[in-house]
């Protein structure tokens, strides 16, 4: 049951249709870890939204000096898409119960994620080479802040990736793997979307 349905419930009215099963007990049909993750994503969304709002607001000041984004960001975007796809592949195979498929997916996702982080660091370096090391220029400050905070979230995700991989290695129970892989996949897709929004905004400015 979705949250709105839940709030619209009217338990004080007489139940229609005698003998029907009592209404679904759980507020949501999702398992707890998935609910928990979704709630966490809401928190992260608020955080990134704050940065975006502040960024857009700051741009309207007359002293705004935009910067040109280093080209590697395009490459990094591609790499991040690959890692997200890797997780997708892993979770599809987890549904099927195919351990080999999970392994391939996880490996792709992990390698691509590390590559993405390395690429982001490289982008930082390029920025310095281009002469944008004046942090006091808000455009530069925001660039580091946005990419940095996004990177930290990915880094945190890699901890989960690592633990999931360890479980795969130990050939844990398939139901458990399905859960772990599924959670990682959702998280990575989320970070991909966040990145696309951030990157789009950086490009636009």
Partner 1 sequence: MADQETAAPGGHDHDHHPTGWRRWLFSTNHKDIGTMYIVLSMVGALVGGAMSFMIRLELMDPGIQFNLFGAGEEAAYFQFYNVLVTGHAFIMVFFVVMPAMMGGFGNWFVPLMIGAPDMAFPRMNNISFWLLASALVLLLVAAFTQGGPGTGWTVYPPLSSAEFHPGPAVDLGILSLHLAGASSVLGAINMITTIFNMRAPGMTIHRMPLFCWSILVTAFLLLMAMPVLAGGLTMLLTDRNFGTAFFEPSGGGDPVLWQHIFWFFGHPEVYIIILPGFGIVSQVVSTFSRKPIFGYLGMAYAMVFIGFVGFAVWAHHMYTTGLDADTRAYFVSASLVIAVPTGVKIFSWLATMWGGSISFRVPMMFACGFIFLFVMGGVTGVALANAGMDIAFHDTYFVVAHFHYVMAIAGVFAMFAGFYYWIGKMCGRQYPRVLARIHFWSFFIGVNVLFFPQHFSGMAGMPRRIPDYPDNYAGWNYVSSIGAFITTASTLLFFFIVWRTLSAGEKVPANPWGEGAKTLEWTVESPAPFHTFEELPDMTDKQAAE
Of the residues 59, 75, 158, 160, which one makes contact with partner 1 according to CB under 8 A: 160
Of the residues 4, 16, 19, 46, which one makes contact with partner 1 according to CB under 8 A: 46
Closest C-alpha among 59, 18, 44 to residue 152: 44
Closest C-alpha among 120, 177, 185 to residue 148: 120
**C-alpha distances out from residue 73 to 27, 37, 171, Å:** 41, 28, 37
Contact 55/199 with Cβ under 8 angstroms?
no
Span 98-157, contacts to partner 1 by CB under 8 A: 135-138, 141, 144-145, 149
CB of 20 vs partner 1, minimal distance in Å: 12
| Residue 21 binding partner 1, by CB under 8 A | no
CA distance 188 to 184: 6
CB of 61 vs partner 1, minimal distance in Å: 8
Q: Please, which residue, 51 or 114, has the CB nearer to partner 1?
A: 51
Of the residues 9, 66, 96, 130, which one makes contact with partner 1 according to CB under 8 A: 9
- How buried is 197 (Cβ within 10 angstroms: 0-12 exposed, 13-18 middle, 19+ buried)? middle
Contacts of 56 (CB under 8 A, 6+ apart): 201
Of the residues 76, 93, 147, 180, which one makes contact with partner 1 according to CB under 8 A: 180
Q: Please, which residue, 79 or 153, has the CB nearer to partner 1?
A: 153
| Residue 67 binding partner 1, by CB under 8 A | no
Contacts of 198 (CB under 8 A, 6+ apart): 48, 52, 146, 147, 150
CA distance 16 to 185: 41
Question: Where in the chain does DSSP place strands (E)?
Answer: none
Of the residues 17, 25, 68, 204, which one makes contact with partner 1 according to CB under 8 A: 25
Binding interface with partner 1 (CB under 8 A)? 6-7, 9-12, 22-23, 25-28, 30-33, 35-37, 39-40, 42-44, 46-47, 50-51, 54, 57-58, 61, 63, 135-138, 141, 144-145, 149, 160, 163-164, 167, 176, 179-180, 183-184
């Amino acid at each position: 049951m979705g949250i709105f349905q839940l709030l619209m419930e009217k338990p004080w009215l007489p139940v229609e249709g005698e003998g029907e099963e009592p209404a679904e007990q759980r507020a949501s049909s999702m398992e707890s870890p998935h609910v928990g993750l979704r709630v966490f994503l809401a928190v992260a969304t608020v955080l990134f939204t704050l940065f975006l709002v502040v960024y857009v607001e700051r741009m309207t000041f007359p002293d705004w000096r935009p910067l040109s984004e280093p080209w590697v960001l395009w490459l990094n975007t591609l790499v991040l898409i690959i890692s997200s796809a890797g997780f997708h592949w892993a979770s599809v195979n987890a549904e099927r119960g195919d351990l080999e498929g999970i392994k391939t997916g996880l490996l792709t996702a992990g390698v691509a994620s590390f590559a993405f982080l390395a690429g982001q660091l490289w982008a930082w370096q390029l920025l310095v080479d281009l002469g944008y090391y004046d942090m006091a220029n808000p455009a530069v400050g925001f660039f580091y802040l946005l990419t940095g905070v996004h990177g930290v979230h990915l880094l945190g995700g890699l901890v989960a990736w690592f633990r999931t991989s360890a479980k795969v290695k130990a050939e844990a129970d398939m139901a458990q793997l399905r859960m772990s892989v599924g959670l990682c996949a959702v998280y990575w897709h989320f970070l991909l979307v966040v990145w696309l929004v951030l990157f789009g905004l950086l490009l636009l400015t």
